[in-house]
Amino acid sequence: MNGRPRIKDIAQRLGVSPATVSRALTGTGLVAEPTLSRIREAARAMNYRPNVSARNLRTRRSMSVLMVVRDIGNPFYLEVMKGVEQAAREAGYSVLMGNTESNPERETEYFDMLRDGHADGMILMTGKLPAGLDAAGIAISDLPLVVALETIEGSGLPHVRIDNLAAAREAVRHLVGLGHRRIAHLTGPLPEIMSRLRRDGWRAAMHDAGLAVPEAYEQRGDYLLRSGQALCAILCDLPEPPTAIFCANDEMAFGAIHELRRRGLDVPGDVSVVGFDDIYLSEVIFPPLTTVSQPRAEIGRAAMSLLLQVIGGDEVAAEPIVLPTMLKIRGTTGPAGTSG
Protein backbone atom coordinates (compact mmCIF):
# COMPACT_ATOMS: atom_id res chain seq x y z
CA MET A 1 0.00 0.00 0.00
CA ASN A 2 3.03 2.17 0.14
CA GLY A 3 3.31 4.18 -3.08
CA ARG A 4 0.89 4.04 -5.91
CA PRO A 5 -1.59 1.21 -6.17
CA ARG A 6 -1.09 -1.45 -8.82
CA ILE A 7 -3.70 -3.41 -10.65
CA LYS A 8 -2.92 -6.25 -8.31
CA ASP A 9 -3.85 -4.15 -5.30
CA ILE A 10 -7.26 -3.44 -6.70
CA ALA A 11 -7.69 -7.09 -7.57
CA GLN A 12 -6.78 -8.24 -4.08
CA ARG A 13 -8.95 -5.70 -2.39
CA LEU A 14 -11.92 -6.80 -4.47
CA GLY A 15 -11.16 -10.49 -4.52
CA VAL A 16 -11.00 -10.66 -8.30
CA SER A 17 -8.14 -11.40 -10.66
CA PRO A 18 -5.80 -8.78 -12.13
CA ALA A 19 -7.02 -9.83 -15.55
CA THR A 20 -10.53 -8.81 -14.75
CA VAL A 21 -9.44 -5.49 -13.36
CA SER A 22 -7.44 -4.81 -16.48
CA ARG A 23 -10.37 -5.69 -18.68
CA ALA A 24 -12.71 -3.53 -16.68
CA LEU A 25 -10.41 -0.55 -16.74
CA THR A 26 -9.42 -0.67 -20.38
CA GLY A 27 -13.02 -1.18 -21.35
CA THR A 28 -12.16 -3.77 -23.94
CA GLY A 29 -13.05 -7.13 -22.50
CA LEU A 30 -16.45 -8.29 -21.44
CA VAL A 31 -16.93 -7.80 -17.76
CA ALA A 32 -20.21 -8.33 -15.97
CA GLU A 33 -21.93 -5.20 -14.82
CA PRO A 34 -21.73 -5.56 -11.04
CA THR A 35 -18.02 -6.40 -11.22
CA LEU A 36 -17.39 -3.59 -13.64
CA SER A 37 -18.72 -0.84 -11.45
CA ARG A 38 -17.14 -2.26 -8.33
CA ILE A 39 -13.77 -2.17 -10.03
CA ARG A 40 -14.24 1.31 -11.40
CA GLU A 41 -15.34 2.49 -8.02
CA ALA A 42 -12.34 0.96 -6.29
CA ALA A 43 -9.96 2.34 -8.88
CA ARG A 44 -11.26 5.81 -8.31
CA ALA A 45 -11.24 5.42 -4.57
CA MET A 46 -7.67 4.17 -4.57
CA ASN A 47 -6.69 6.85 -7.02
CA TYR A 48 -5.39 4.30 -9.43
CA ARG A 49 -3.49 5.25 -12.58
CA PRO A 50 -2.18 2.64 -14.97
CA ASN A 51 1.55 2.64 -15.45
CA VAL A 52 2.18 3.69 -19.01
CA SER A 53 5.56 2.05 -19.36
CA ALA A 54 4.14 -1.32 -18.46
CA ARG A 55 1.17 -0.84 -20.71
CA ASN A 56 3.31 0.39 -23.57
CA LEU A 57 5.70 -2.47 -23.18
CA ARG A 58 2.91 -4.95 -23.29
CA THR A 59 0.88 -3.38 -26.08
CA ARG A 60 3.91 -2.32 -28.06
CA ARG A 61 2.50 1.11 -28.51
CA SER A 62 3.34 4.41 -26.88
CA MET A 63 0.21 6.33 -27.74
CA SER A 64 2.29 9.31 -28.61
CA VAL A 65 3.44 10.88 -31.82
CA LEU A 66 6.34 13.05 -32.75
CA MET A 67 5.95 16.35 -34.52
CA VAL A 68 9.26 17.45 -35.94
CA VAL A 69 9.87 21.00 -37.10
CA ARG A 70 12.83 22.95 -38.38
CA ASP A 71 12.83 25.59 -35.74
CA ILE A 72 10.73 25.41 -32.69
CA GLY A 73 11.33 29.11 -32.16
CA ASN A 74 9.20 29.97 -35.14
CA PRO A 75 5.71 30.89 -34.02
CA PHE A 76 4.36 29.76 -37.32
CA TYR A 77 4.38 26.21 -36.06
CA LEU A 78 2.42 26.99 -32.96
CA GLU A 79 -0.96 26.95 -34.54
CA VAL A 80 -0.10 23.89 -36.58
CA MET A 81 0.88 22.23 -33.35
CA LYS A 82 -2.42 23.24 -31.83
CA GLY A 83 -4.21 21.45 -34.64
CA VAL A 84 -2.04 18.39 -34.26
CA GLU A 85 -2.52 18.34 -30.53
CA GLN A 86 -6.24 18.66 -30.77
CA ALA A 87 -6.62 15.76 -33.17
CA ALA A 88 -4.13 13.76 -31.14
CA ARG A 89 -5.94 14.32 -27.88
CA GLU A 90 -9.21 13.24 -29.40
CA ALA A 91 -7.58 9.96 -30.32
CA GLY A 92 -5.91 9.58 -26.94
CA TYR A 93 -2.45 10.43 -28.18
CA SER A 94 0.17 12.75 -26.76
CA VAL A 95 2.35 14.92 -28.93
CA LEU A 96 6.10 15.16 -28.56
CA MET A 97 7.79 18.13 -30.14
CA GLY A 98 10.97 17.64 -32.06
CA ASN A 99 13.27 20.41 -33.12
CA THR A 100 15.89 19.72 -35.73
CA GLU A 101 17.35 23.16 -36.15
CA SER A 102 18.27 21.84 -39.58
CA ASN A 103 20.82 19.61 -37.93
CA PRO A 104 21.01 16.24 -39.70
CA GLU A 105 22.12 14.51 -36.54
CA ARG A 106 19.01 15.60 -34.73
CA GLU A 107 16.86 14.53 -37.61
CA THR A 108 18.28 11.07 -37.29
CA GLU A 109 17.69 11.20 -33.58
CA TYR A 110 13.97 11.59 -34.07
CA PHE A 111 13.90 8.66 -36.40
CA ASP A 112 15.61 6.71 -33.66
CA MET A 113 12.88 7.73 -31.26
CA LEU A 114 10.42 6.14 -33.58
CA ARG A 115 12.32 2.90 -33.50
CA ASP A 116 12.88 2.80 -29.77
CA GLY A 117 9.20 3.05 -29.04
CA HIS A 118 9.11 6.65 -27.95
CA ALA A 119 6.46 7.34 -30.52
CA ASP A 120 4.13 5.40 -32.76
CA GLY A 121 4.40 7.79 -35.65
CA MET A 122 5.90 11.02 -36.79
CA ILE A 123 4.77 14.15 -38.56
CA LEU A 124 7.62 15.70 -40.47
CA MET A 125 7.56 19.41 -41.08
CA THR A 126 11.12 19.45 -42.26
CA GLY A 127 11.89 19.49 -45.92
CA LYS A 128 14.05 16.44 -46.02
CA LEU A 129 14.83 13.01 -44.71
CA PRO A 130 18.02 12.37 -42.78
CA ALA A 131 20.72 10.78 -44.85
CA GLY A 132 21.76 7.24 -44.18
CA LEU A 133 18.32 5.79 -43.67
CA ASP A 134 18.62 3.51 -46.66
CA ALA A 135 22.10 2.61 -45.60
CA ALA A 136 20.64 1.47 -42.31
CA GLY A 137 18.32 -0.77 -44.26
CA ILE A 138 15.25 1.17 -43.34
CA ALA A 139 12.52 1.49 -45.92
CA ILE A 140 10.96 4.91 -45.54
CA SER A 141 7.63 3.79 -46.82
CA ASP A 142 7.34 1.22 -44.04
CA LEU A 143 7.70 3.84 -41.35
CA PRO A 144 4.62 5.52 -39.86
CA LEU A 145 5.44 8.89 -41.36
CA VAL A 146 3.43 11.81 -42.61
CA VAL A 147 4.70 15.03 -44.13
CA ALA A 148 3.03 18.36 -43.52
CA LEU A 149 3.63 21.85 -44.85
CA GLU A 150 6.67 20.74 -46.73
CA THR A 151 7.12 18.24 -49.49
CA ILE A 152 9.68 15.49 -49.55
CA GLU A 153 10.16 14.71 -53.17
CA GLY A 154 10.03 11.14 -54.30
CA SER A 155 9.48 9.82 -50.80
CA GLY A 156 6.05 8.48 -51.58
CA LEU A 157 4.96 9.57 -48.12
CA PRO A 158 1.47 10.86 -47.34
CA HIS A 159 1.45 14.64 -47.55
CA VAL A 160 -0.67 17.47 -46.26
CA ARG A 161 0.10 20.81 -47.73
CA ILE A 162 -1.05 23.86 -49.62
CA ASP A 163 -0.57 24.72 -53.27
CA ASN A 164 2.44 26.96 -52.85
CA LEU A 165 2.82 27.78 -56.49
CA ALA A 166 -0.80 28.78 -57.01
CA ALA A 167 -0.86 30.80 -53.81
CA ALA A 168 2.29 32.71 -54.74
CA ARG A 169 0.93 33.28 -58.20
CA GLU A 170 -2.25 34.74 -56.81
CA ALA A 171 -0.33 37.02 -54.47
CA VAL A 172 1.76 38.40 -57.30
CA ARG A 173 -1.30 38.71 -59.50
CA HIS A 174 -2.72 40.97 -56.82
CA LEU A 175 0.31 43.22 -57.15
CA VAL A 176 0.03 43.22 -60.91
CA GLY A 177 -3.60 44.17 -60.55
CA LEU A 178 -2.54 47.18 -58.51
CA GLY A 179 -0.50 48.36 -61.47
CA HIS A 180 2.92 47.17 -60.34
CA ARG A 181 5.30 46.16 -63.09
CA ARG A 182 8.61 46.04 -61.27
CA ILE A 183 7.93 43.26 -58.77
CA ALA A 184 10.83 41.61 -56.98
CA HIS A 185 10.90 38.41 -54.95
CA LEU A 186 12.77 37.38 -51.85
CA THR A 187 13.06 33.60 -51.94
CA GLY A 188 13.47 31.06 -49.20
CA PRO A 189 16.39 28.63 -49.29
CA LEU A 190 16.21 27.41 -52.87
CA PRO A 191 17.41 23.89 -52.38
CA GLU A 192 14.00 23.36 -50.87
CA ILE A 193 11.07 22.56 -53.00
CA MET A 194 8.72 24.83 -51.08
CA SER A 195 10.89 27.87 -51.74
CA ARG A 196 11.18 26.93 -55.36
CA LEU A 197 7.44 26.57 -55.73
CA ARG A 198 6.81 30.00 -54.30
CA ARG A 199 9.47 31.42 -56.55
CA ASP A 200 7.94 29.65 -59.54
CA GLY A 201 4.55 31.06 -58.65
CA TRP A 202 6.04 34.53 -58.73
CA ARG A 203 7.67 33.83 -62.07
CA ALA A 204 4.48 32.38 -63.47
CA ALA A 205 2.47 35.43 -62.47
CA MET A 206 5.08 37.72 -64.00
CA HIS A 207 4.95 35.68 -67.15
CA ASP A 208 1.16 35.74 -67.15
CA ALA A 209 1.31 39.51 -67.10
CA GLY A 210 4.01 39.69 -69.74
CA LEU A 211 6.41 41.31 -67.29
CA ALA A 212 10.16 41.10 -67.31
CA VAL A 213 11.95 39.25 -64.53
CA PRO A 214 15.40 40.81 -64.18
CA GLU A 215 17.79 38.48 -62.52
CA ALA A 216 18.46 40.95 -59.75
CA TYR A 217 14.79 40.91 -58.82
CA GLU A 218 15.15 37.41 -57.50
CA GLN A 219 17.05 37.65 -54.24
CA ARG A 220 17.84 34.48 -52.37
CA GLY A 221 17.05 34.49 -48.69
CA ASP A 222 16.66 32.02 -45.87
CA TYR A 223 13.26 32.85 -44.36
CA LEU A 224 14.87 34.89 -41.59
CA LEU A 225 14.16 38.46 -40.73
CA ARG A 226 17.70 39.61 -41.21
CA SER A 227 17.88 38.27 -44.72
CA GLY A 228 14.65 40.08 -45.60
CA GLN A 229 16.23 43.26 -44.39
CA ALA A 230 19.55 42.76 -46.16
CA LEU A 231 18.06 41.65 -49.46
CA CYS A 232 15.63 44.52 -49.45
CA ALA A 233 18.60 46.86 -49.11
CA ILE A 234 20.12 45.31 -52.20
CA LEU A 235 16.88 45.80 -54.11
CA CYS A 236 16.64 49.41 -53.03
CA ASP A 237 20.14 50.09 -54.30
CA LEU A 238 19.32 48.78 -57.75
CA PRO A 239 19.32 51.35 -60.57
CA GLU A 240 15.71 50.41 -61.14
CA PRO A 241 14.39 49.41 -57.74
CA PRO A 242 11.14 47.45 -57.61
CA THR A 243 7.86 49.08 -56.61
CA ALA A 244 6.66 45.88 -55.01
CA ILE A 245 8.29 43.00 -53.21
CA PHE A 246 6.81 39.56 -52.80
CA CYS A 247 8.47 37.76 -49.91
CA ALA A 248 8.54 34.00 -49.49
CA ASN A 249 7.48 34.37 -45.88
CA ASP A 250 6.25 36.96 -43.42
CA GLU A 251 9.42 37.22 -41.42
CA MET A 252 11.36 38.35 -44.44
CA ALA A 253 8.50 40.70 -45.26
CA PHE A 254 8.87 42.26 -41.82
CA GLY A 255 12.57 42.61 -42.40
CA ALA A 256 11.96 44.20 -45.77
CA ILE A 257 9.42 46.66 -44.39
CA HIS A 258 11.81 47.52 -41.62
CA GLU A 259 14.52 48.32 -44.14
CA LEU A 260 12.19 50.35 -46.35
CA ARG A 261 11.17 52.43 -43.36
CA ARG A 262 14.73 52.88 -42.33
CA ARG A 263 15.33 54.42 -45.71
CA GLY A 264 12.40 56.75 -45.31
CA LEU A 265 10.29 54.93 -47.86
CA ASP A 266 6.60 54.57 -47.26
CA VAL A 267 4.81 51.24 -47.31
CA PRO A 268 2.70 50.95 -49.38
CA GLY A 269 3.05 54.51 -50.73
CA ASP A 270 6.47 53.94 -52.26
CA VAL A 271 6.79 50.20 -52.17
CA SER A 272 4.21 47.47 -51.67
CA VAL A 273 5.10 44.34 -49.75
CA VAL A 274 3.42 40.95 -49.68
CA GLY A 275 4.30 38.16 -47.29
CA PHE A 276 3.48 34.51 -47.01
CA ASP A 277 2.18 32.56 -43.99
CA ASP A 278 0.08 35.11 -42.12
CA ILE A 279 1.93 34.57 -38.90
CA TYR A 280 0.94 35.76 -35.51
CA LEU A 281 0.87 39.54 -35.34
CA SER A 282 0.92 40.02 -39.12
CA GLU A 283 -2.45 41.57 -38.72
CA VAL A 284 -1.33 43.83 -35.98
CA ILE A 285 1.80 45.44 -37.26
CA PHE A 286 1.37 48.76 -38.92
CA PRO A 287 0.30 48.75 -41.60
CA PRO A 288 -1.13 45.27 -41.33
CA LEU A 289 0.63 42.90 -43.68
CA THR A 290 -0.89 41.72 -46.91
CA THR A 291 -0.04 38.05 -46.97
CA VAL A 292 -1.02 34.55 -47.96
CA SER A 293 -2.80 32.83 -45.13
CA GLN A 294 -2.48 29.12 -44.62
CA PRO A 295 -5.04 27.12 -42.66
CA ARG A 296 -2.46 26.18 -40.08
CA ALA A 297 -4.61 24.44 -37.51
CA GLU A 298 -6.36 22.57 -40.31
CA ILE A 299 -3.07 21.41 -41.67
CA GLY A 300 -2.10 20.12 -38.25
CA ARG A 301 -5.39 18.37 -37.76
CA ALA A 302 -5.32 16.81 -41.22
CA ALA A 303 -1.75 15.63 -40.75
CA MET A 304 -2.60 13.99 -37.46
CA SER A 305 -5.67 12.29 -38.89
CA LEU A 306 -3.60 11.00 -41.73
CA LEU A 307 -0.97 9.73 -39.33
CA LEU A 308 -3.60 7.94 -37.30
CA GLN A 309 -4.66 6.14 -40.44
CA VAL A 310 -1.09 5.17 -41.19
CA ILE A 311 -0.56 3.95 -37.66
CA GLY A 312 -3.79 2.03 -37.85
CA GLY A 313 -2.46 0.28 -40.92
CA ASP A 314 -5.12 1.69 -43.21
CA GLU A 315 -4.46 2.32 -46.83
CA VAL A 316 -3.71 5.97 -47.36
CA ALA A 317 -4.37 7.81 -50.58
CA ALA A 318 -1.22 8.42 -52.58
CA GLU A 319 -2.52 11.82 -53.54
CA PRO A 320 -1.37 14.59 -51.22
CA ILE A 321 -4.06 16.43 -49.31
CA VAL A 322 -4.02 20.00 -50.53
CA LEU A 323 -5.67 22.59 -48.33
CA PRO A 324 -6.84 25.98 -49.59
CA THR A 325 -4.99 29.22 -48.88
CA MET A 326 -6.37 32.70 -48.75
CA LEU A 327 -4.77 35.94 -49.83
CA LYS A 328 -5.35 38.44 -47.05
CA ILE A 329 -5.26 41.84 -48.61
CA ARG A 330 -4.37 44.28 -45.88
CA GLY A 331 -2.36 47.43 -45.56
CA THR A 332 1.05 46.87 -47.09
CA THR A 333 -0.08 46.78 -50.69
CA GLY A 334 -1.37 49.71 -52.69
CA PRO A 335 -1.47 51.09 -56.19
CA ALA A 336 1.81 51.48 -57.98
CA GLY A 337 3.09 55.04 -57.95
CA THR A 338 3.05 57.06 -61.16
CA SER A 339 6.78 56.55 -61.41
CA GLY A 340 6.27 52.75 -61.44
Partner DNA sequence: TTGAAAGCGCTACCAC
Partner DNA sequence: GTGGTAGCGCTTTCAA
Sites of contact with its own copies (CB under 8 A): 4, 47, 49-54, 56-57, 60, 62, 72-75, 78-79, 81-82, 85, 94-97, 99, 112-113, 115-118, 136-138, 225, 254-255, 257-258, 261, 280-281, 284-286
C-alpha distances out from residue 291 to 39, 157, 165, 249, Å: 56, 29, 14, 8
CA end-to-end span of the chain, whole Å? 81
What residues numbered 28-87 form the site for DNA, per CB under 7 A? 28-32, 34-36, 50-51, 54-55, 57-60
Q: Are 159 and 315 in contact (CB under 8 A)?
A: no
Which are the contacts of 183, defined by CB distance < 8 A and separation ≥ 6? 172, 175, 176, 202, 206, 211, 217, 242, 243, 244, 245, 246
Shortest Å, Cβ 82 to its own copies = 6
C-alpha distances out from residue 275 to 23, 172, 250, 298, Å: 54, 10, 4, 20
Q: With CB cut-offs between 5 and 8 Å by kind, which of its own copies, DNA, none does residue 258 bind? A: its own copies
Q: What is the dihedral of CA 45, 47, 52, 58, to 10 degrees?
A: -30
Interface segment toward DNA; rule CB under 7 A; list 5-13, 92-100, 212-220, 267-275: 5-13
Q: With CB cut-offs between 5 and 8 Å by kind, which of DNA, its own copies, none does residue 280 bind? A: its own copies
Q: With CB cut-offs between 5 and 8 Å by kind, which of its own copies, DNA, none does residue 232 bind? A: none
Residues 17 and 6: their CA atoms lie apart, in Å, by: 12
Q: With CB cut-offs between 5 and 8 Å by kind, which of DNA, its own copies, none does residue 16 bind? A: DNA
Q: With CB cut-offs between 5 and 8 Å by kind, which of its own copies, DNA, none does residue 314 bind? A: none
How many of the chain's residues bind DNA (CB under 7 A)? 29
**Amino acid identity, residue 225?**
L
Residue 54 or 212 having the CB closest to its own copies: 54
